[in-house]
Amino acid sequence: MSYKRYQEIMAKIADVNYASSVLSWDQETYMPEKGAETRAQQLSTLAGISHELSTANELGEVLEKLSNDASLDAKQKKNISESLKDYKDRKKYSTAFVQQMSKSISECFQSWQKAKKENNFSLYAPHLEKLVKLKREECELLGYENHPYNAMLNQYEPKAKTADIEILFKNVRHQLVDFVKKISEKPQNNEAFMHTHFPKDKQWDFGIDLLKQMNYDFNGGRQDISSHPFTTSFGVNDVRVTTRINENNLNEMIWSCIHEGGHGLYEQGLNADDYGLPTGEAISLGIHESQSRLWENNVGRSRAYWKANYKLAQKYFPENLKNVSEEDFYKAANIVKPSLIRTSADELTYHFHVMIRFEIEKALIEGSIEVKDLPSYWNKKYKEYLNIDVPNDSEGVLQDIHWSHGSFGYFPTYSLGSFYAAQFFAQAQKEIPNLEDLISKGEMLPLLNWLREKIHRFGKLYSAEELCIKVTGEKLNFDHFMNYAKTKYGNLYNLS
Ligand code: CO
């Protein structure tokens, strides 16, 4: 049994998984309403085939054999060890458990939709309770060190530790909460013009221009419209992004285009020769999000970026922006203001939203809080960290889809993404001469090449922590995010 056989099996599994991705992409973009039922069946069939292939005895035998093969090079060894770990994890699930979980998730999701619509948490609570119980069982089944939440977290962020995430959020609590308080005592910048009428087709064209400038490859990708923007890949040479357009708010299109564009560039930068193999896949959700946040925030919300692009914005929207200076526009792109809804939060207060969810889901998994107490706990935390009164559960504890999907351990990866982004970008500023000048001229290729060289091409060859040390010389360090925030917002809000 050879490494070649392993590659063949993995490529076949990838074929099935990417075919599922095509169907899911279509479901979110163009599928007519009546197609939903058949589509669900098709996706479920493909998921079954993928599971069979990836738990087949032959794969296990090939992996065991190759894991003792000293003739493999370092990259091949890494692929085998990663695949073997995944294989063993998948084998831990019995068919009965998988079916029970899938049933529980679908009931929970349906009850969440109804509960959110009717603002009635009690419709959702018993289903969530059942799901949390199953998730606790899943932690035991997968196994963990120190804290059961590690088992959940590691499904999205392999090798991350609950204790390290706790330290990060302790920093958020001790440094960022006070900093935002200082900002909120200052007069707010004007952003009313962002909410005038921006025609849809002009927004679309502007977004395409921004993606082209980032060097997103339209010969190996495309953009479409969906209600929740996302990025999906069918392989390195076909990476799709979506955006949304709100004619009364220019922000939505701009930030979702740049954000998803950043995800897309990571996928397009993976190694095509490693199709279906761990080294041909993104490291983790946190590292994926670091790429989208780096482009969205560190680049897209910078002064230099709007020096490059504001004239183009004015060309597309001459009426809306005729009395708005470049500086005004930059300020409006960086309003910091505590708010109720996570997905529309600014880049600083966003982390309070994540911190609250992390505290709650960790407590749910360890069993120190019960589902029935979620609304009051949630509301108390929003008051404490954001000074926000939550008006109702629909806009409070019911606002996110994640828990109803059984996605516990997902939320922290959003904050990890921003913190990694700040650290990577600080390093890029050191290593790329005149990076800011280049950005202000719209020359994004040197930055993209740096990301390709330092991050994208490796796939899972390194863990997130190893990569971070390799690129920046140290582990993830919250100081980089805080330095970025202090420099930028200190200027924007005249803090001394
Ligand atoms: Co993202």
Does the pLDDT of residue 264 top 80, yes or no? yes
Q: Is 399 helix (H, G, I), strand (E, B) or coil?
A: coil
**Beta carbons of 419 and 476 less than 8 angstroms apart:** yes
What does pTM read for this prediction? 0.96
Count Cβ atoms within 10 A of the Cβ of residue 228 and give its class: 0-12 exposed, 13-18 middle, 19 or more buried: exposed
pLDDT tens digits along 442-469: 999 999 999 999 999 999 999 999 999 9
Does the pLDDT of residue 480 top 70, yes or no? yes
Q: CA 361, CA 378: separation in Å to the nearest integer?
A: 11
pLDDT band at 95 (very low <50, low <70, confident <90, very high): confident
What was the pLDDT predicted at 1?
63
pLDDT band at 40 (very low <50, low <70, confident <90, very high): confident
In sequence order, the 6+-apart residues with CB closer than 8 A to the CB of 466 are none
Q: CA 327, CA 307: separation in Å to the nearest integer?
A: 9
Integer angstrom CA distances of residue 200 from 29, 75, 132:
17, 47, 42
Count Cβ atoms within 10 A of the Cβ of residue 32 and give its class: 0-12 exposed, 13-18 middle, 19 or more buried: exposed
Q: Is 241 helix (H, G, I), strand (E, B) or coil?
A: strand
pLDDT tens digits along 51-88: 999 999 999 999 999 999 999 999 999 999 999 999 99
Distance 285 CA to ligand 1 centre (A): 8
pLDDT tens digits along 357-375: 999 999 999 999 999 999 9
Distance 286 CA to ligand 1 centre (A): 9
Q: Which two tokens stand for residue 323?
A: 């009395």
Instruction: Examine the residue annotation and report whether 260 is marked as an active-site residue of this protein.
Output: yes
Distance 260 CA to ligand 1 centre (A): 7
Q: Where in the chain is the domain with CATH 1.10.1370.30?
A: 162-492
Tell me what the pLDDT averaged over the chain comes to.
96
Does the pLDDT of residue 14 top 80, yes or no? yes
Distance 211 CA to ligand 1 centre (A): 16
* Catalytic residue (one of 138, 157, 252, 260): 260
Distance 68 CA to ligand 1 centre (A): 38
pLDDT tens digits along 169-213: 999 999 999 999 999 999 999 999 999 999 999 999 999 999 999
Distance 289 CA to ligand 1 centre (A): 5
Please state which CATH number belongs to domain 162-492: 1.10.1370.30
Q: Which two tokens stand for residue 212?
A: 């082209």
